[in-house]
């Protein structure tokens, strides 16, 4: 069986590259992932990015890496300040509610918590931002303009534009820099420190350049280097982060440390609605509670957001949600059958799980989840067929269950609790058991049909009847 090495598409080189971490012997990896801006509840487009990062971490762990991951919380920027002002409450109080909501949502979606969730307003990081800006100014890489804000001088950083593959002359102004462009030397220079203005209210910190607040980009450079050091293995985000945010992060971090900041840049494509990016500003978004209210579970949503390769755009549709539900029901049913077949078998015959191997190798190949899921469902089909014929022995069933443990450590899709039968179904099932004891086959069949109408499938085994959720195909 061929053994493929891990490889990822690096935005920096625009190529698939074999994965070589900084310190291969220790198997330790540092990953930085840009987190939410807490000015509203995150929408499921944001969660597509976080689920992709979760899949990345889980697969690296399956391959034996020890992942140390940091996800920042942007709790001060134009949007959070505006939101707090409109709500007439303190910035911290305003952002706190959305931080809480974010943690609830990642739990619902089974996204592993990062090891650290630094907040930009933590004084430790504000100090670090000021220190970095100081260094950049002393090196001529930054300057204070007439408006008292401090800007990064992109002309002094020759690599600027390499991540986004941009020609400097084509740079356009972006929404996240201060609007008054005339104070800057170059239209592409971005704010490191924004001088206080009235709209900021009481949101301000003292600095060598006067009262003000940090720019969004320096927040991430400061938190990443403070917690992970000068160099990190992988940095992720959505494609909209590439420019200017990540480009700026490289310029700031490397401008200070003189070392290559990130080895692999991974970016996920957007979640779309009718061909357009799901976003707060377009108003075409759903939050997790919106979908939960419609009866979908966290794992339905996880599956729906995960099933397409992270570099391909994914269109959000209700059919997609239904497909997710059906796919999960098929997995649930398969696991029930496998467990029945395996019985209490403990040893695991050495069976050739060729399809199982292919699942893992598909993920090695730049996290090709659609191919991996294809192999999973092929495995399910084949083993189900073998079980239909009574040809899957207990040891093989056990081997598949052991393999599923590995699969589920990456997908995190297994149903959480043992399936609980609704009371009406349980009652009918009991009546059917009695009918069968009395050899009343007609009544037994009638009851089976009634149970099916309620969405449950009955199977008769030598240990009595077993029930599982019915899968409509
Ligand atoms: P923000 O809170 O806007 O800074 O976004 C947080 C993360 O979500 C970033 O990594 C964005 O790139 C990502 N993101 C925002 N909208 C979408 C979307 N529609 N699809 C996928 N990722 C998104
Ligand atoms: Zn960031």
> Can you read off the two tokens belonging to residue 82?
């505006």
Span 422-446, pLDDT tens digits: 888 989 998 999 999 899 999 999 9
Instruction: Output 180 or 219, whichever has higher pLDDT.
Output: 219
Ligand number nearest to the C-alpha of 312: 1
418: exposed, middle or buried (Cβ count in 10 Å: 0-12, 13-18, 19+): exposed
> Can you read off the two tokens belonging to residue 391?
């040809």
Contacts of residue 219, defined as CB under 8 A and 6 or more positions apart, other chains included, come to 72, 74, 76, 77, 120, 125, 129
pLDDT at position 246: 98
**C-alpha to C-alpha distance for 61 and 410, rounded to whole angstroms:** 8
pLDDT at position 1: 41
- pTM for the full model? 0.87
Residues with CB under 6 A from ligand 1: 34, 36-37, 45-46, 48-49, 237-238, 240-241, 270-271, 277-279
Instruction: Output 290 or 470, whichever has higher pLDDT.
Output: 290
Over the chain, what is the mean pLDDT?
A: 93
Span 390-413, pLDDT tens digits: 999 999 999 999 999 999 999 999
**To which residue do tokens 């709500």 refer?**
87
Mean pLDDT value of segment 74-92: 97
**Which residue has a Cα nearest atom 8 of ligand 1?**
46
Mean pLDDT value of segment 281-292: 96
Assess whether pLDDT exceeds 60 at residue 176: no
Helix axis angle, 441-453 relative to 423-437, nearest 10°? 170
Assess whether pLDDT exceeds 60 at residue 418: no
pLDDT at position 237: 98
Residues with CB under 5 A from ligand 2 (ion): 34, 220
**Which residue has a Cα nearest atom 23 of ligand 1?**
46
**C-alpha to C-alpha distance for 241 and 246, rounded to whole angstroms:** 6
| Closest ligand 1 atom to 240 CA | 12
Span 91-142, pLDDT tens digits: 999 999 999 999 999 999 999 999 999 999 999 999 999 999 999 999 999 9
Give SS3 for 17. Answer: strand
pLDDT at position 4: 60
């Amino acid at each position: 069986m061929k053994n493929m090495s891990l490889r990822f598409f690096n935005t920096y080189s625009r190529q698939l590259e074999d994965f070589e971490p900084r310190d291969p012997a220790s198997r330790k990896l540092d990953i930085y992932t840009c987190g939410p801006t807490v000015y509203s509840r995150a929408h499921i487009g944001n969660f597509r990015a976080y689920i992709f990062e979760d899949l990345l971490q889980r697969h690296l762990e399956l391959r034996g890496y020890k992942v140390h991951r940091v996800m920042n919380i942007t709790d001060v920027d134009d949007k959070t300040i505006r939101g707090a002002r409109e709500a007439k409450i303190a910035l911290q109080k305003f952002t706190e509610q959305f931080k809480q909501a974010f943690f609830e949502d990642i739990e619902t979606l089974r996204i592993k918590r990062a090891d650290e969730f630094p907040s930009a307003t933590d004084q430790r990081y504000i100090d670090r931002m000021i220190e970095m800006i100081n260094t950049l100014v002393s090196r001529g890489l930054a300057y204070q303009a007439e408006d008292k804000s401090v800007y990064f001088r992109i002309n002094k950083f020759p690599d600027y534009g390499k991540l986004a593959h941009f020609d400097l002359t084509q740079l356009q102004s972006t929404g996240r820099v201060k609007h008054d462009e005339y104070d800057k030397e170059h239209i592409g220079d971005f704010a490191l420190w924004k001088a206080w203005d009235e709209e900021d209210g009481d949101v301000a910190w003292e600095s060598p350049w006067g009262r003000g607040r940090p720019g969004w980009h320096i927040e991430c450079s400061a938190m990443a280097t403070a917690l992970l050091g000068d160099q990190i293995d992988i940095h992720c985000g959505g494609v909209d982060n590439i420019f200017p945010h990540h480009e700026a992060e490289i310029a700031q971090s490397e401008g200070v440390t003189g070392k290559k900041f990130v080895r692999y840049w991974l970016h996920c494509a957007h979640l779309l609605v009718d061909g357009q990016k799901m976003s707060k500003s377009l108003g075409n978004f759903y939050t997790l509670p919106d979908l939960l209210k419609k009866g979908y579970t966290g794992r339905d949503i996880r599956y729906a957001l995960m099933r397409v390769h992270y570099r391909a755009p994914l269109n959000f549709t209700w059919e997609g949600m239904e497909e997710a539900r059906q796919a999960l029901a098929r997995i649930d049913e398969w696991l029930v059958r496998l467990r029945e077949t395996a019985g209490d078998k403990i040893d695991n015959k050495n069976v050739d799980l060729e399809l199982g191997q292919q699942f893992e190798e598909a993920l090695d190949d730049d996290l090709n989840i659609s191919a991996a899921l294809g192999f999973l469902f092929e495995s399910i089909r084949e083993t189900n067929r073998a079980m239909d014929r009574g040809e899957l022995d207990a040891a093989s069933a056990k081997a598949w269950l052991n393999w599923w443990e590995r699969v589920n450590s990456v997908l995190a899709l297994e149903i959480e609790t043992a399936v609980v039968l609704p009371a009406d179904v349980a009652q009918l099932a009991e009546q059917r058991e009695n009918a069968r004891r009395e050899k009343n086959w007609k009544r037994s069949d009638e009851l089976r049909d009634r149970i099916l109408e309620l969405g449950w499938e009955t199977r008769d085994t030598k240990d009595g009847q077993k029930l599982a959720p019915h899968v409509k195909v």
